[in-house]
Amino acid sequence: GEDVEQSLFLSVREGDSSVINCTYTDSSSTYLYWYKQEPGAGLQLLTYIFSNMDMKQDQRLTVLLNKKDKHLSLRIADTQTGDSAIYFCAESPNTGGFKTIFGAGTRLFVKA
Amino acid sequence: NAGVTQTPKFQVLKTGQSMTLQCAQDMNHEYMSWYRQDPGMGLRLIHYSVGAGITDQGEVPNGYNVSRSTTEDFPLRLLSAAPSQTSVYFCASTNAGNTIYFGEGSWLTVV
């Protein structure tokens, strides 16, 4: 079945860039997402990219998609302590989103 | 803005007890779903609904029931709680634009 893989942990220093990587298996994925989960809270959508795009930039966030390698990355520029959270990569092959497949989440630690 | 509202936020159950996690959304979304989150496993889909009166099973449906009598509400029932159902549960709803909105989660412990 479909699968989304990502590293479980990433540690960076405040002010550095963070790069969180993700690979997925479903070649029919149409929508690819990054969600952020802060402690004790639900998931919040950070950004998403359509499969016909290579890159999307939104302020400090840059999403890169390599569709050939089924690789998605999220770069956070000038990482701040407030960026410490779990980041989930997710993919969906269709509209509606209810069959979205989530990765296990990457826990980002930001050291002051 | 209410969005997706889940209750209760915390619950402790004894093995064999039943309970219902409530979920309501005020965004008129057609699609609603329940996920469970376990350490190192991401979110797994339990059940989902594509509209009032229509539900279907997700990846891990055993031990759970759902119903969708209205567009707004999508309760999740644990029929006979087991320790393996200790988890964090998230209700979500989505629109045709494919953005998923999550509730704040319900922390369930089964002892």
Q: Which of A24-33, B12-21, B98-107 has the highest mean pLDDT?
A: B12-21
Dihedral pair phi/psi, residue A81, rounded to 5°: -60, -30
Q: What integer is the mean pLDDT of B45-53? A: 93
| Closest CA–CA distance from residue A23 to any residue of chain B (Å) | 14
- Which residue of chain A is at minimal alpha-carbon distance from B49? A98
Distance CA B44, CA B35 (A): 5
Buried b / exposed e over B52-90, threshold 16 CB at 10 Å, is beebeebebbeebebbbeebbebbbebeebeeebbbbbb
Tell the residue number behind the tokens 């988890």, with chain if given: B87
Q: Are strands A55-58 and A61-66 parallel, antiparallel or unpaired?
A: antiparallel
Over residues B82-102, the pLDDT tens digits come to 999 999 999 999 876 667 889
pLDDT, position A96: 54
- Which residue of chain A is at minimal alpha-carbon distance from B39? A104
Over residues B10-31, the pLDDT tens digits come to 999 999 999 999 999 999 999 9
Over residues A80-91, the pLDDT tens digits come to 999 999 999 998
CB contact at 8 A, A61 and A74: yes
pLDDT, position A26: 79
| Closest CA–CA distance from residue B104 to any residue of chain A (Å) | 4
Q: Find the chain B residues whose C-beta atoms sit closer than 8 A to any C-beta of A.
A: 4, 30-33, 35, 40-45, 48-50, 58, 90, 92, 94, 96, 98-105
